[in-house]
Amino acid sequence: MKQGIHPEYKEAIVTCACGAVYRTRSTRGSFAVEVCSACHPFYTGKMRYVDTAGRVEKFKRKYEKFGKEAGGTAT
């Protein structure tokens, strides 16, 4: 390797929103992630729904009037 052209490769701590903490090495340094292998549905086999900023309720309110007009029921 040539000297002086590569970034510093130092220890980093990765913190997940679920509380898991991983120690690794990175040129970026320590950082936080939203999902990891401990909480991601693909790896855990458990489906979880994350309602960000009330999107489900917003959708229901928006289309509630259309269900009543068409004679259907809005759930």
Instruction: Put residue 23 in one of left, alpha, beta given phi > 0 → left and psi -120 to 50 → alpha.
Output: beta
Domain assignment present for 25: yes
Low-confidence ranges of the chain (pLDDT < 50): none
Any domain includes 35: yes
Structural domain span for residue 41: 10-69
Q: Check residue 19 and give its pLDDT.
A: 87
Give residue-wise pLDDT tens across range 36-46: 878 877 767 77
Q: Is residue 74 part of a domain?
A: no
pLDDT at res. 64: 85
Indicate the pTM of the whole model. Answer: 0.50
Q: What is the CATH number of the domain that holds 60?
A: 4.10.80.400
Rounded to 5 degrees, what angle do the CA atoms 10, 15, 31 make? 50
Quote the number of domains for the chain: 1
> Does residue 4 fall inside a structural domain?
no
